[in-house]
A = this chain, B = another copy of it.
Amino acid sequence: MKQSHLFTKTRREAPRDELAKNAQLLIRAGYVHKEMAGVYSYLSLGALTLKNIEDIVRKEMNAIGGQEIRMATLHPSEPWKQTGGWDQVDVLFKIDSRTEKEYALGQSEEEIVTPIASEYAPSYKDLPLSIYQIGQKYRDELRAKSGIMRGREFGMKDMYSFHTTQEDFERFYEIVKQAYLRIYSQCGLVAKVTEASGGSFSQKISYEFMVLTDAGEDTILYCTECDYCVNVEVAGETKEGDTCSKCGNSTLQSGVASEVGNVFDLGTRYPKALGFTYKDEEGNEQYPIMGCYGLGTSRLMGVIVEALADEKGIVWPASVAPFTLHLVNAMASDEQAVMYADELYNLFTSRNTAVLYDDRDARAGEKFADSDLIGIPYRIVVGKEALAGNSLELVNRATGEVERLTKEELLQRFTSQSV
C-alpha cells in the first residue's frame, strides 16, 4: 500500500487523557481511534494487525479441532435469567427495547453456545465437541483503563468444549494449553501458565496465561527454573524468595504480568441451568462437562505493544505486523529515486509481499521517525547508494541492525518462503 493513499497520519502527541503506553503509541501511529474510555475503532493499520492476530489464533484453534461459528452478540434475556447471570454478572450490559423485550450484550457466550451444542449433540457419540468464535464482546466496566487492554468493547476468541468425563476435559485442556503457548510464541511473547481463582463464573480452579510486562494488572510468583507459576491472589502464604514447591531447585520471583488468556472448568453448571443432556452408552441422560477458553485478541495486540515497544515507537513481530516491509524513499524530490522506488514497490507487490511504501513528499528524517513509530519489522531505504547501483539499506526495527543488500538480494529474501 502506498502511504500517500493511507488516510491515517501519525501524530506527535497522544491525547492527554490517554495514560496507557499501548493506546498512546497506537493512537500516535494511526492504528486506533478513541471513541470514548474503553472503546476504540481500529483504523487501516490496526484492522490489518488485528486480522493477523486473529488468523494466528484461528489456525491454532482449527488445528486442534475447534469449529468456528459466529454467535449473536445481541442476546435474549431468557437464558441469562435461567443461569442467574442476568442478576449476578455485574458487567452485563442490559438493553430495553421498543417492544418491551429485554436483551443482553454478549460479555461471554455460555448462554448462547450451550443451547446450540445441546441441539446438535444429543448422544455421547457427538462428544467431545469444541466450538469457537472470534468476535466482539462488551463489558460494563466501572473504570476502563490500560488502553485497548481492558475495554468496554473488545475483540475475543472464545472457545467452548463439551465432554463426557472430567478426564476428557483435562486431556483437551492440555491440548488447548499447548495451542495457546504456540499462539503467544508466534506473537513474540513468552507466556506463563498460572492457577488463579475462578471468579464469579466457576467454583473451580481456573488457569490464566500471563505475560510479564510493567503494564500488567496482576502480580505473579514464578520459578526461574521450572514452569511453576501462581497468581498472588491464590498463592496463600507463598511469597517471593520461597523455594519452588514444584522443582525445589530455585526460588520464586515476583513480577507484574498481564493476562492474555484464560481457561475455566465450568463443570456441568451451564448444561444443568440450560437443560443440555446427552444420552450415554446405556441410554441414560447425562450432563456434559463444559470448558471455556478465552483469548482477548485486541488485548493481545495491546500487550504486544507494551512488551515489545521501545522509546522510538511500536515494534511488531513479523507475524502480526500490518506489513512485512516499510519501503522508504528518502529522496522524494528526486525523479530518479521515485522511479527506482516505484519499481521496487511494484516488484514486491507483484510477488505478494506486504509492503507499505512511503511515497510521500516529505523529509527523510520525518519518514524515518514515522517508520520507527509505526513499527514494521524491516525498513528498506532508497537513497543515493541505491541510485548509484550499489545497495540498499535494510534496517531491522527490533534490533536496529543495518545490512546493505542489492535489489536482487532483497527480492530473494522477502519474496521467498524463508522470510
Which residues of A pack against B, CB within 8 Å?
A: 5-9, 30, 33, 35-36, 39-44, 46-47, 50, 65, 67-76, 90, 93-99, 101, 103, 105, 112, 115-117, 119-121, 126, 129, 131, 133, 136, 138, 140, 142, 152-153
Q: Are A41 and B153 in contact (CB under 8 A)?
A: no
Contacts A90-B98, A98-B142 supplied; 15 other A-B pairs, CB < 8 Å: A5-B65, A6-B67, A7-B117, A7-B131, A33-B115, A35-B76, A36-B101, A41-B70, A42-B69, A47-B133, A73-B153, A74-B152, A93-B97, A97-B140, A136-B136
Q: Which partner residue on chain B sits nearest A45 by CB separation?
A: B69
Query: Shortest CB–CB separation between residue A310 and chain B, in angstroms?
Result: 26
Report which of B36, B68, B120 forms a contact with A9, defined as CB distance below 8 A: B120
A35 touches B75 (CB 8 A): yes
Q: A116 CA to B43 CA in the complex, in Å? A: 9
Q: Please name the residue on chain B nearest to A44 by beta carbon.
A: B67
Question: Which of B5, B43, B131, B140 touches A98 (beta carbons < 8 Å)?
Answer: B140
Per assembly, the copies of the chain total 2
Q: Are A72 and B140 in contact (CB under 8 A)?
A: no
CB of A54 to closest CB in B, whole Å: 11
Q: Which residues of B contact A93 (CB under 8 A)?
A: 95, 97, 103
- Alpha-carbon gap, A142 to B119, bound state (A): 28
Bound: A117/B41 CA distance, A: 12
If A7-B120, A7-B121, A120-B8 touch, whether A70 touches B98 (CB-CB below 8 Å) is no
Nearest residue in B to A131 (C-beta to C-beta)? Answer: B7
22 A/B residue pairs, CB under 8 Å, sorted by A: A8-B120, A33-B115, A33-B119, A35-B72, A35-B75, A36-B101, A41-B70, A41-B71, A41-B72, A41-B112, A44-B67, A46-B69, A47-B133, A74-B138, A74-B152, A74-B153, A90-B98, A93-B95, A95-B105, A97-B140, A98-B140, A105-B105
Give bound CA distance, A97 to B129, whole Å. Answer: 35
Is A50 a contact of B70 with CB atoms below 8 Å? yes
Chain B nearest CB from A210 CB (Å) reads 27
Report whether B43 and A69 are in contact in the complex, using a CB–CB cutoff of 8 Å: yes
A105, B96: Cα distance in complex, Å: 12
How long is the Cα–Cα vector from A133 to B93 in the complex, in angstroms?
A: 24
- Assess A129 versus B7: contact at CB under 8 Å? Given A68-B47, A112-B35: yes
- Is B69 a contact partner of A47 (Cβ separation < 8 A)? yes
* Alpha-carbon separation in the docked complex, A33 to B30 (Å): 38
The distance from the CB of A267 to the nearest CB of chain B, in whole angstroms, is: 21
Given contact pairs A7-B120, A7-B121, A152-B74, A69 touches B44 in the complex (Cβ within 8 A): yes
